[in-house]
Structure 1
Amino acid sequence: MFEIPDLLREYDRARAYTDQLWTDLSADEVAWRPHENFSAIGWHLGHQAHVAHFMIRNLTAAEPSPDPELDPVMDSANPEPGRGRLPDLSRLAAFRADVADSIHRRVGAIRDGRVGAPRQLTIVAKTLLTALINHEYQHDQWIGEVRSGDLGHALPDRPKSDLITELDGYLVVCDPRW
């Protein structure tokens, strides 16, 4: 199984790739929806962070949301037409950065043994980081398809790493024993 420092680097690499997919787009492009029942790029960006926050919060430490008003907007359990208005780009970027900082703080505490049950939480953290990375790349696939196919922008090179492979067209972290 991969180690926490490797997985944290991969999480940062996945987030950096996501940023390459959207930070050069206009606010209108980030908010554009191909159909009323499809999500905008901006929703996927917030959803990636929303899921990461809730997973770290529910599996390792109870922390309040960095932006509670965004929680119902970014929750995929809410049907697309009723989710609410997307935040502006700076708020979206701040939300993503705040969640990533929280993940680094909490997983860093686990890595350093500054938690109760450090060995058990190490297993949880490794599994959690693997899921977060794969979730980030899962949504990157859709963002990239809209970016290139619908909005006509070139795609950046996909990240390269010894930890990731491609399955069914998606980048994933996959323990070689799986």
Structure 2
Amino acid sequence: MDKAELRRRIVAARAGLADPRGPATAIRETLLDQPWVQMAGLVACYWSMGTEPATHGLVFALWKHGATVILPVLQPDGDLDWAVYDGPGSLAPGPRGLMEPVDTRRGVDTIRTAALVIVPALAVDPVTGIRLGRGGGSYDRALARVGPNVPRVALLHEGELIGGVPAEPHDQAVSVAALPSGIVPIPG
């Protein structure tokens, strides 16, 4: 199956979820229990939308626990700049319905300094860690800037760990999948 067809299937499955944001608490609590999350001083995350596993509570909890959380700011060329999250009032609507921090833009390379990177995904291959995104390549570009020892976590709904996710040369892998049922390290 090609990427476009797999995307269509997962988006349709997510649309049929009774409560697509429901798994957020389980994912948040499982992540916050991990020592490597607790020790991360600078966390790159995203503000979820639609049927993505919700990150609003996770971002707030990381911030309240003392982490500096940076969120993406979509650039016209599709690349991601980064700005600091400073509480619920620090966001404003951006392009494509995204909520973005109003803080000073820190530059696309800011993600290089993150100790933990949390990204959206529609699917992740449990062997290779290749993630299937929405198709814009924004997170692949961002992940290409992240060091090899930095945990790269994709948030998923149950059933979205899928063997054989199609890959292209520019696709970047993640090292961990976080699902409501728990954390899945990727050996890739």
**Greater C-alpha radius of gyration:** 1
Higher helix share: 1
TM-score by length of 2: 0.27
Considering Cα pairs closer than 8 Å and 6+ residues apart, tell me whether 1 or 2 has the greater RCO: 1
